[in-house]
Structures are given as structure tokens and as C-alpha cells.
Amino acid sequence: MIKLENVTYTYSEGGPFQMTAVDNVNLTINKDELVGLIGHTGSGKSTLIQMMNGLIKPTSGRVFVDGKELHNKKTKMSDIRFKVGLVMQYPEYQLFEETVYKDIAFGPINMDLPDFEIKRRVEFACDAVGLERELLDKSPFDLSGGQKRRAAIAGVIAMQPEVLILDEPTAGLDPSGRDEILYRIRDMHRRAGMAVVLVSHSMEDIANMADRIVVMNKGKVALDGKPAEIFGRREELESFGLSVPQVTSITHKLREKGYELPKGIHTVSEAVYEILKLKKGAGDNV
């Protein structure tokens, strides 16, 4: 769906503050994937996702969306933007219309869709993020923090992109607000078959959500694999300034003490399942 080929991005190239944020990255995001993108601040993840929908142009290398090359005269940029929806950090700061409806409709209106289709999409997006339809007539500024965040995400979903990229969608939300948004994202991913790229600093969120994890460090893809593989490499993650979920540390310590547990356990339910097996196993040995 999205393919990056030898992509490099350098800020202020040739100037005294030249800095390479993304360094020769090759990465493919497939349809039907939910990819977690992690890396400490300054590792290049935000620059990387901005290149995925053509918001910025790589200094060198090529980006393809659905087989079409970006920054090529034959490719219409607006088509790419409709295909790859990008939800930035704190998207609620970008709400600007008089009503929630108009705000969510902004994208579809710019796609020149007929009115009935715009309405259908606004309602679809509203349901998809779990926003009550009664709120559509309100001013976005009257919503609570969590509702604003969801309204802003709905504005991107209303364009029905094939890939949805979210930069820290749960930052600043409380646990139930966080769970609600993550549940909605996963639901959309499963039901609408939308590919999702989720950028997060929360290892717990990534562990609970992603099928695949891409770890960025110093502008390069440092690790790429399934959650169990990635979280099984605790020392490496820590050397990149990242961490593992607490349950991974717990099971890792148990492994060190000689208990037979699989490497890279990363959810509470998985840990419960595996530890229960140990208890039974210990019983059998006696």
C-alpha cells in the first residue's frame, strides 16, 4: 500500500544546521496491517509519516502509494491525501468550523462529493469514532477533550482513506478515553479493512494493538517484526531510549529465575495464560 524506497530526509540541507532526520529507509506498509511505529523523540518517526502522504518531499529516495509515485507530475497529490489520512498530534487544535458536522464534512466537501454522500460519510465517521450524533450540531469548542479528539479523527476518517496514520492519538487522554479511541481504531481496521500506522510513546498501547512493530532509531529502521519478537529484545529497546511494558519486564525476570516462559510476552492476558501453565506444570513435576 505504501512503499518507501531508500528514503532520506535532511532538514536545512547545505546549511549550518543540517540534520538528517530520516536516513535511507526502506519500508513497506501492507494493506490490512496495523503497524505500531515507535522511537524516542527525534528518532525520525514524525518526519517519516509526513512523507507517507506527501506532506513533505524526501531529499532523496522514492515514495509510492498504491503503486503511484509521489512527487511525480503524473500523480495528483490530492488523490494521495484522500488515500492516506494523517491525524497529527493533538488534532483537536485544528478544529475550526462552526459546528462539528461542518468540521467533519470539510474533507468530503473538498473531494467534490454529492451532498447525500457527504452526509453519509459524516455520519459514518461520527459512528466510527463513537461520537454521539446529537453532538454534530454543536460547536466543536463545546465538546470535552476526548470528544474533540474524536471529532478531529472523524474529520480524517470521513475521507475514507485506505491508510490511516495517527501520531500519538491518545496523548493526554485518561485511560478510558484512551481505551475508547484505541478500540475504535482497531474496530475500523478490522471492519473497514483500513491499514493503520499508529505512532505512540506508550509501549502498552502498541503491545495491545499492533500486528507489527517498526522501531526507529537515529533516522533508521532499527527493528521491524512481530510484537513478541520486538519486546523480546528488551536491552536493545532500552538502548534506543524506549521501554517494554511492565508485564514484559515481569515475565522477563521470571525467565531469568529459570521459569520457562516464552520471550516477549507483552499483554496481561498472555502473561496470565502462560503463568497459569507454569503452575500446572509445577504440579505435574511433583
Partner 1 sequence: MEPIIRTENLKFSYKNQEDGRTYEVLKGIDMEVRKGEFLCVLGHNGSGKSTLAKHFNSILVPTEGKVFVGDMDTSDEDKLFDIRQRVGMVFQNPDNQIVATIVEEDIAFAPENLGLPREEIISRVDFALKTVNMEAYRNHAPHKLSGGQKQRVAIAGVLAMMPEVIVLDEPTAMLDPVGRKEIMNTIKTLNREKGMTVVLITHYMDEAAEADRILVMDKGKIKMEGTPKEVFSKVDEVKAIGLDVPQATALAFELNKNGFNLPLDILNTEDCVSNIIKELEND
Residues in contact with partner 1 by the rule CB under 8 A: 40-42, 139, 142, 144-146, 171-178, 201, 203-204, 241-243, 245-247, 249-250, 253-254, 257, 259, 268-269, 271-272, 275-276, 278-279, 282-283, 286
Cβ at position 155, least distance to partner 1 in Å: 20
Cβ-based nearer residue to partner 1, 75 or 139: 139
Please state the closest distance from residue 243 (CB atom) to partner 1, in A: 4
- Write the secondary structure of the chain as one string of H (helix), E (strand) and C (coil): CEEEEEEEEEECCCCCCCEEEEEEEEEEECCCCEEEEECCCCCCHHHHHHHHCCCCCCCEEEEEECCEECCCCCCCHHHHHHHEEEECCCHHHHCCCCCHHHHHHHHHHHCCCCHHHHHHHHHHHHHHCCCCHHHHHCCHHHCCHHHHHHHHHHHHHCCCCCEEEEECCCCCCCHHHHHHHHHHHHHHHHHCCCEEEEECCCHHHHHHHCCEEEEEECCEEEEEECHHHHHCCHHHHHHCCCCCCHHHHHHHHHHHCCCCCCCCCCCHHHHHHHHHHHHHHHHHHC
Residue 77 or 278: the one with the smaller Cβ distance to partner 1 is 278
* C-beta of 228 vs 275, nearer to partner 1: 275
Give the nearest distance from C-beta 6 to partner 1 in angstroms: 27
Task: Kindly tell me which of 61 and 177 has the beta carbon lying closer to partner 1.
Answer: 177
Nearer to partner 1, 73 or 279 (CB): 279
- Closest separation between CB of residue 54 and partner 1, Å? 26
Q: Do you know the residue count of the chain?
A: 286
CB of 234 to partner 1, least distance (A): 12
Residues 6+ apart with CB under 8 A from 231: 203, 207, 237, 244, 245, 248, 264, 265, 266
Q: How far is the CB of 144 from partner 1 (least distance, A)?
A: 5
Between 76 and 253, CB nearer to partner 1: 253
Give me the phi and psi of 193, to 5 degrees please.
Answer: 65, 30
Return the number of the residue (77 or 272) whose C-beta is nearest partner 1: 272
Residue 39 C-beta: closest distance to partner 1, Å: 8
